[in-house]
Structure 1
Amino acid sequence: MLDGIIDGIKEFFFEMFKGSTESFLNMITELFQKSVDTVQTNVSETPTEFSQTIVDNLRVISDTAILPVAGLILTYVFCYELYQLVVEKNRGGDFETGQLMFLIIKTSAMIYLLTNAFDITLAVFDLGKWITDQVPSSALKIPDSIKDNLLNSMEEGDVGAAISMWFV
């Protein structure tokens, strides 16, 4: 009779811990899923969707401040490489036009990249949005098998396992 009462008390506490653990796991899973959905929504937002005025201000700064400074640096590098090309080839006496053409093509490519740097940056953000939109929402969910395995391991009646979940 005393064993039946003790088993009843054990069963009561075990069911209480099991139910609270299950509700706790459900709450954590739901909170995690909401956080993942929020992050996915915020990550897949392009700068133009976030704030068009900030993008316009950054474009003005890029066109009026960053681009002229980059142009000056590029001009210095072009002139320095041209000077090195002339000095290296015996003061222009042994001058190769192929190297000059390569220098002009390289400088033209850099000018093209500099003038389109802001658009390239926005394109990277658009690519990131496209990539995050391609991820299925089912891939970002916690598998139910994790919760089921934990609850099944507690089914064996190990109250210590149920209690240890709360204090780990």
Structure 2
Amino acid sequence: MFDQIFDAIEEWMRGLLTGIIHSNLDRMFTDVNEKTSEIAVQVGQTPQGWNSSIFNMIENLSETVILPIAGIIITFVLCYELISMITEKNNMHDIDTWMFFKYFVKMWIAVYLVSNTFTITMAVFDVGQSVVNSAAGVITGSTEIDISSVLTDLDTTLEAMEIGELVVLVLETLIVSFGMKIMSVLITVILYGRMIEIYLYTSIAPIPFATMTNREWGQIGTNYFRGLFALAFQAFLMMVCVAIYSILVAGIQYSDNLSSSLFGVMAYTVVLCFSLFKTGALSKSIFNAH
């Protein structure tokens, strides 16, 4: 009698633990699969396409708050440029009318750059979007992970386990499931953080653009322009990370050892998050932006 009771309890616990394992495996990679599939969509959007409301606010702030400051800076820079140009010619003894023509051309270029700051800035991101869209057409691998469908002998493997082993496996699947949710949140933070950085970067664009035509001050604008290209091409590096991740996921060797398979997939997802996080610094390093 007692043996039947214990067998019934064991069967009930086995069914409960098996159900928990199945549930964890089914929902474990849902968030990560959704986020990795969204990366190409997110990074392939321009600032005005990602969120038009934020873009309009940033553009309005730039034109109403930052642009007047840029006007003061460009006036100072142009005056400084004129004074330096005149004093370089032996204190006005060797003045050539040609240099005034060059000065007016430079002044026109400076005013044009500041007046069309947002157009030029968005053109940089249009180039980055074009590169990302081209890369998306080349990347054909799938980032979808469905470990439960790959492990065809899952039920057989679970039936062969003892209750203690099933309890350990339940804890492992819970840990991995929690870790994968954290990874999905981190991917969202990285994607949204890049776009917010772009908006912050473009909001102050008129000021560095106002310095670009001056030899001494021009390094401010030049470095800013490098930063723009770094942010634009960071999206391409993110696409490369996704491509590498899809190849790694496709090459995973699944086995009856559920623990090694689970933590192996989680390790690749951690590598993906770390790589996405490093793309910003790598892109700035490539374009020598600081």
Return the TM-score normalized by structure 2.
Answer: 0.39
Question: Which position in structure 1 is the counterpart of 2:121?
Answer: 121
Equivalent position to 1:142, from 233, 247, 250: 247
Quote how far apart the aligned CAs of 1:116 are: 0.9
Corresponding residue for 1:111?
111
Aligned-residue sequence identity (percent) comes to 29
The Cα offsets for residues 38-83 of structure 1, whole Å up to 9 and x where unpaired, read as 1111111222223222222222222222222112111111111212
State the one-letter code of the partner of 1:113. L
Q: 1:40 to 1:103 in 2, by over 3 A?
A: same
- Aligned twin of 1:100: 100
Deviates more, 1:70-79 or 1:43-52: 43-52
**Runs of 4 or more consecutive aligned structure 1 residues displaced over 4 Å after TM superposition:** 30-33
- Which structure 2 residues correspond to residues 56-71 of structure 1 after superposition, within 5 A? 56-71=56-71
Specify the code of the residue in structure 2 equivalent to 1:138: T
Q: How far apart are residue 163 of structure 1 and its match?
A: 7.7
Alignment partners' CA distance in 2, 1:53 and 1:46: 13
Query: Over alpha carbons, which structure has the higher Rg?
Result: 1
- Aligned CA distance change for structure 1 residues 132 and 167 (closer, same or farther; 3 Å): closer
**Aligned residue identity for 1:52:** S
1-structure distance, mates of 2:59, 2:31 = 38
Which protein, 1 or 2, shows the higher relative CO under an 8 Å CA cutoff with sep ≥ 6? 1
CA distance in 2 between partners of 1:50 and 1:142 (Å)? 28
Change beyond 3 A, Cα 1:74–1:138: same
What is the one-letter code of the residue matched to 2:105?
A: I
CA deviation profile, 1:118-166 (whole Å, cap 9, x unmatched): 112222222222222222241533367623xx35xx6xxxx9xx48826
Q: Which SS does the other structure have where 1:95 is aligned?
A: coil
Question: How far apart are 1:96 and its partner, in Å?
Answer: 1.3
CA–CA distance in 2 between the matches of 1:116 and 1:49? 19
Deviations 1:86-117 (A, max 9, x none): 22324423201222222222222121111111
- So what's the TM-score if we normalise by structure 1? 0.62
More divergent stretch after superposition (35-44 vs 137-146): 137-146
